[in-house]
A and B are shown apart, each in its own frame.
Chain A
Amino acid sequence: MNEKDDFMRRLARGLRGMPQDAAQDILSDYEGHFEEGRRAGRSDGDIARNLGDPTRLARELRAEAGIRRWEDERSMAAALGAIVGLLGLAALDLFIVLPLLIAIFAVLLGLTVAAVCVSLAGLILLPFAILNMIPVSDGTWLQNVLFATGLFSAGISAGAFCILFVIGLTDLLSRYTRAHFRLISPAAAISTGV
């Protein structure tokens, strides 16, 4: 088993799930690095050792790509991608806060879903209230309309708060991760061995 193949395989495995061409770009960077190293007369083992841990590299690259997409798109899917990438990196560095982070994001996600449901309920109820067709209610027409409108807007504002919070948290985490990316140190202590 060649060290280069081993490195490339582990890197490729770590990049799985990224867009095909982006992953290919990255792989060709490292492919070229081995090529140049060989030309400089270094052994594959030496080159691989000095590159660092491919699994870790892959996670950093994925986290970075996720953050970049989030900065470009600001969509819900991009936020989710960035969060997953950050959690992947955090799994290596921040064992302790990882469950906390996951919990926070899960709670936020749950609250957002709940808020959406509340506003939907309000939205569905509103036309019935206007037509005075709510059978179970013993309130007046005005009360019913106000209740449905209130439900709707409360759901919207709660949902908006949750989303703003997710955006803020994702931004904060992105900045933190960038500032704290650990340098990938050579896998071996003897960094310039033959």
Chain B
Amino acid sequence: MNHMQGDPRSVEPNLVQFRKGVLELCVLALLERADAYGYEIASRLAEAIDMGEGTIYPLMRRMQKEQLVSTYLVESPSGPPRKYYRLTEQGRQNLLRQKTAWTEFTRAVNTVLEAGQDGKS
């Protein structure tokens, strides 16, 4: 595949797809450990998987609609109250399913990748 060689952008669409696919899983995993408010989720995930922070709010809306998360308000020491997100029972089960699928998938991909390396050397 010589024509793709050396172009860093050729991998970019793939990366975007990867991130998009795992974003919801990451949010669910984050909320499993502790309830969090929007800014917290956005800034932590933006760091971890390098995405625009603004994306998180449309996603939270959708997850709320799908009843994977619920919200409640907490007075904050300064400024307006914070909207916290909590995992619902449905969200917990969804997380379990997605986690299993992810683990199996990555294991399968890794097996293929490693087999490819062995073949080369």
Q: Please list the residues of chain A having a beta carbon within 8 angstroms of any beta carbon in chain B.
A: 26, 28-33, 35-37, 39-40, 47, 50-52, 54, 57, 60-61, 64, 68, 181-187, 191
Contact = CB atoms under 8 A, between A and B. Distances in A.
Contact of B51 (A35, A36, A57, A185): A185
A33 B53 contact: yes
Nearest to B51: A183
B72 interface: no
A52 B58 CA distance: 13
Q: Tell me whether chain B's interface is mostly helix, strand or loop, or mixed.
A: helix
B80 A64 contact: no
Contacts of B69: none
B29 interface: no
B107 interface: no
Contact of B58 (A31, A47, A50, A57): A57
Interface stretch (B38-46, B94-102, B110-118): B38-46
11 contacts: A32-B80, A32-B83, A33-B53, A36-B39, A40-B43, A52-B52, A52-B53, A57-B58, A61-B61, A183-B51, A185-B52
B50 A191 contact: yes
A35 B53 contact: no
Contacts of B57: 26, 29-30, 33, 57, 61
Most central of A32, A60, A68, A191 by chain B CB within 10 Å: A32
A54 B19 CA distance: 20
B33 interface: no
B80 A35 contact: yes
Contacts, number: 83
Contacts of A68: 62, 65
Contacts of B61: 26, 61, 64
A39 B79 CA distance: 9
A32 B55 contact: no
B20 A181 contact: yes
Nearest to A35: B79
Contacts of B40: 36
A178 to B, nearest CB: 8
A190 to B, nearest CB: 12
Contact of A52 (B23, B43, B54, B78): B54
B15 to A, nearest CB: 10
Contacts of A57: 54-55, 57-58
B16 interface: yes
Most central of A51, A52, A68 by chain B CB within 10 Å: A51
Contacts of B92: none
